[in-house]
Amino acid sequence: MTHKGIILAGGNGTRLRPLTTGISKPLLPVYDKPMIYYPISVLMMAGIRDIAIITSPQDQPIFQRFLGDGRQWGVSFTWIVQPSADGIAQAYTLAEGFLDGAPSVLVLGDNLFFGPDLAERLQAALRENRGGTIFAYQVEDPKRYGVVACEGDTVTGIVEKPEVPPSNFAITGLYILDGTAPERARRVEPSNRGELEIVSLLESYLTQGELSVERLGQGYAWFDAGTHQALLEASCAVQQLQQNGQVQGSPDQVALRNGWTSQRAFLRSVEELAKTETGAMLSRLIPGPKASVAAS
């Protein structure tokens, strides 16, 4: 069954105030693009075209005006309201009707991933997934994160902010789960914080020996852009990569590479970015005269 995508773009962004007082966190800029472009691009790189975007009630109309229905990138957006931010696992119960039994890839709206062969890694993980797959990234201070213990590619334990970490690999906001995820999520009990924790959902796969890990090692980068410092670091990373000729977080680019948009439609989109660094880089993806093609 074809995988569907979920982007959890709700929440209040309290760690980013006052920036988020008047704008939703996933619409904040990460260098030259809105933050939400990056998780959209990740799902598209995985080959996913059917994407649900979960937002707060007050922000949904803004997202809809901003992103449209997705057809400009060859994808389809379904909009789901999150009445209150009650934990990551809640995304699966909210999206149950959308998923309709399909396996899914969930990416948090403030998580950014970069790597030279990220698309291939994502697609391979989708093919090989049997139950659940998490993506882990090596960090210097694992005590601040949920940490994974594993033997080979099999997860043997998950520890939240451990005093003695079993590894240096933190669990990122990117999850591949099979079609049973919504049913499992309904059985998750609220934590002491009153939230449906993603760790509790993942543990339901772990206890059945159905949880695997993809380690993102050297050459990859992961940012949880939920603080001012992380937002700045992510922006600087994108700037550096793009100065080296590597466009990041561009749904237009991924759509072209996937064959989901025509060259003509791509160039029309690039025209809107004509005076930007990204527009100049994207225009070079198609050789030959551009203006006549875009105008025709």
Going from N- to C-terminal start, the domains of the chain cover 4-135+171-249
In one-letter notation, the amino acid at residue 66 is: F
Confidence bin at 288 (pLDDT 50/70/90): low
Query: By percentage, how much of the chain surpasses pLDDT 90?
Result: 72
Mean pLDDT of the chain: 92
Which tokens sit at 263? 């060259």
Report, as an integer, the average pLDDT of 211-219: 92
Report, as an integer, the average pLDDT of 83-106: 96
CB 123 within 8 A of CB 44: no
Is the pLDDT score of 160 beyond 60?
yes
Q: Which residues contact 250 (CB under 8 A, 6 or more apart)?
A: 33, 37, 41, 278, 282
Predicted TM-score of the model (pTM): 0.93
Strand partners, 5: 51, 105
Confidence bin at 295 (pLDDT 50/70/90): very low
Spell out a b/e string for 119-156, using b for 16 or more CB atoms within 10 Å of the CB, else e: bebbeebbeebebbbbbbbebeebeebbbbebeeeebe
Rg (CA), the chain: 19
**End-to-end alpha-carbon separation of the chain, Å?**
39
Confidence bin at 6 (pLDDT 50/70/90): very high
Among 42-51, 203-212, 214-223, 266-275, the range of highest mean pLDDT: 42-51
pLDDT at 284: 86
Taking the C-alpha atoms of residue 39 and residue 278, their distance in angstroms, rounded to an integer, is 18
pLDDT at 27: 94
CB 133 within 8 A of CB 216: no
Is the pLDDT score of 14 beyond 90?
no
Q: Which fold has domain 4-135+171-249?
A: Spore Coat Polysaccharide Biosynthesis Protein SpsA; Chain A (3.90.550)
Tell me the backbone φ, ψ of residue 139, rounded to 5 degrees. -125, 160
Question: Cis omega before residue 18 (within 30°)?
Answer: yes
Question: Which helix (H) or strand (E) segment is 128 a member of?
Answer: helix 118-128
pLDDT at 143: 87
CB 140 within 8 A of CB 182: no
Strand partners, 128: none
Among 144-153, 190-199, 206-215, the range of highest mean pLDDT: 206-215
